Amino acid sequence: MFGTVLLLAIRSISRHKLRSFLTTLGIIIGVAAVVAMVTLGKATTKAAQAQIASLGTNILQVRPGQGFGRGGGGPRPPDFDITDVAAISDQVEGVTAVAPQAQSTATVIYQGANWSTSINGTTDAYFTVQPWPLVQGRTFSSAEEQAGKAVCIIGNTVRTNLFRGGNAVGERMRVNGISCDVIGVLSTRGQGGSGDQDDVVIMPIKQVQRRFTGNRDIRLMLVGTDPAYESAQVQASIGQVLRERRHIEGGKDDDFNIFDTALISATVTGVTTLLTQIVTAVAGISLVVGGIGIMNIMLVSVTERTREIGIRLAIGAVASEVLMQFLVEAVVLSMLGGLVGLLVAQGVVLGLAPVMKVDYLFDPQINMIAFGISALIGIVFGYFPARRAASLNPIDALRHE
């Protein structure tokens, strides 16, 4: 029986191809919008998480001040020094490495080409704390760190603009007038929260302090932690060590702050997920509009086929068979719209993914859910017209002009 009903539904739909297409257009747009938005939202979240992960996991950023700035209106809190770095590294359990940083800006010159970039003074622990491999060369040796040698490791943006993307290792460039040997080239990271992460020159911290900042202050420490330890526990231990060293007594507030980079990933994931849900909900409205369109056309179809319904009822068809015929027709229309919508969504994602610089993702779950919802819309919005057709009086239906 069902096969016959399905065949009748397909014949009815194919008899009015243009009307059937226009009827399913709302479903097509709705399914395509929902699937494309959810898929792109997940791809964006994945890309953001990958970018944050490139900065390193299990990293704590320690800065002077109560926030990322000075905090409050009082005097500027003192910076850290190298003894603070040693104290955290030696006294706090769960710390794998501590990388101090002294930062400045400079103009780098090589054979007539020049480029303004960021200078980051640090130690070899910097490459232990966060995963930033080199594509060429090596990191600092212990002797170069201790002596503060004029050696540098450059990011890909610096290599591209200064060395025209060619080999840079072994070459000598000038950094604000200081001759510096290039010993390594960093792998590409791309854009980050602070701009182009590849636009950087990394040098031994003693060289940067002596030649660029003019002091031994440390404004930032990157602390690598063992994942076997609770981050909160490690933060509390670091805070205790720094309070003792900075002579903060009693209930006085800390004059430093400790930030867990894992919070960035959680925040970004939460925000992108919320935005995806909002956009998806808005796009889902078109599914409801599409369902209303199906109900409207099915009511028109019932009116047009009143005599046909009357004849079927008069020759012995029961009301449930008539209801099933029109309900299946509505569901088939809706499912066809859902199927076309899924194909359109994949085309949209394939087209927008390179523009948004995210990877193409195929999410079977959201595709199945969207297709199921399209079928459900056919049932919900097709039931009323089908019920109306089934409740017609055969005599009245036969008299209909």
- DSSP secondary structure, 125-174, as one string: THHHHS---EEEE----HHHHHHT-SEEEE-HHHHHHHSTTS--TT-EEE
What are the tokens at 109?
């010159």
Closest CA to 204 of 97, 122, 119: 122
Residue 179 CB: number of other CB atoms within 10 A? 9
Same domain, 100 and 244: yes
**Distant-in-sequence, close-in-space partners of 339: CB < 8 Å, separation ≥ 6:** 371
What per-residue confidence (pLDDT) applies to 400?
Answer: 60
Higher pLDDT, 308 or 336: 336
Structural contact between residues 357 and 389, judged by C-beta atoms closer than 8 angstroms: no
% of the chain exceeding 90 in pLDDT: 28
Domain boundary among 233, 260, 287: 260
In 3D space, the residue among 230, 219, 212, 287 whose CA is nearest the CA of residue 257 turns out to be: 219
Output the pLDDT for position 202: 94
Residues 272 and 249 in one domain: no
Let me know whether 373 and 297 are in one domain: yes
Please indicate, yes or no, whether the overall pTM of this predicted structure exceeds 0.75. Answer: no
Residues 66 and 180 in one domain: yes
- Encode pLDDT of 96-123 as tens digits: 999 999 999 999 999 888 999 999 999 9
My answer on whether 391 and 301 are in the same domain is yes
Give pLDDT, residue 196: 80
Does 253 share its domain with 316?
no
Domain edge (last residue) among 238, 260, 282 = 260
Q: How far apart are the first and last CA of the chain?
A: 30
Q: State the Cα angle at 47 between 226 and 225, rounded to 5°.
A: 10
Rounded CA-CA distance 297/385 in Å is 9
Instruction: Work out whether the CA dihedral 222, 223, 226, 228 comes out positive or negative.
Output: negative
Whether pLDDT at 71 is above 60 = no
Q: Which of 315, 316, 293 is nearest to 385 (CA)?
A: 293
Whether residues 386 and 300 share a domain: the answer is yes
Mean per-residue pLDDT of the chain:
84
Residues in CB range of 24: below 8 A, 6 or more apart: 290, 294, 333, 334, 336, 337, 340
Confidence of residue 69 (pLDDT cuts 50, 70, 90): very low
Are 232 and 272 in a shared domain? no
Q: What pLDDT, on the 0 to 100 scale, is given for residue 91?
A: 92
Residue 127 has pLDDT above 80, yes or no: yes
Q: Cα 170 from chain centroid?
A: 38
Mean pLDDT across 62-79: 69
The count of other CB atoms within 10 Å of the CB of residue 352 is 15
* 316 and 210 part of one domain: no
Q: What is the pLDDT, as a whole number, of residue 9?
A: 66
Strands 256-260 and 151-154: unpaired
Residue 389 CB contacts under 8 Å (≥ 6 apart), including other chains: 302, 305, 309, 322, 323, 325, 326
Average pLDDT, stretch 194-214?
88
Which stretches of 149-255 are assigned E, i.e. beta strand?
151-154, 172-175, 178-186, 191-192, 195-196, 200-204, 220-225
- Same-domain pairing of 137 and 247: yes
Domain that holds residue 336: 2-51+266-399
Report the range out of 26-40, 280-294, 321-335 with the highest average pLDDT.
26-40
| Among candidate residues 126, 52, 28, 53, the one with its CA nearest the CA of residue 85 | 126
pLDDT for position 87: 94
Whether residue 8 has pLDDT greater than 80: no
Residues 17, 162, single domain; the answer is: no
**Torsion sign (Cα): 177, 220, 254, 82:** negative
**pLDDT of the residue at 70:** 45
Do 283 and 319 lie in a common domain? yes
pLDDT for res 54: 64
Q: Is the pLDDT of residue 185 over 70?
A: yes
If you average pLDDT over residues 149-170, what whole number do you get? 89
Left, alpha or beta for 116 (phi > 0: left; psi -120 to 50: alpha)?
beta
DSSP 45-65: HHHHHHHHHHT-SSEEEEEES
Q: Which of 232, 260, 288 is where one domain is finished?
A: 260
Cβ atoms < 10 Å from Cβ of 299: 15
By three-state DSSP, how is residue 350 classified? helix
Q: What is the pLDDT of residue 184?
A: 93
pLDDT band of residue 193 (cuts 50, 70, 90) is low
**How many domains does the structure of the chain reveal?**
2
The b/e string for 269-280 (b: 16+ C-beta within 10 A; e otherwise) is: eeebeeebeebb
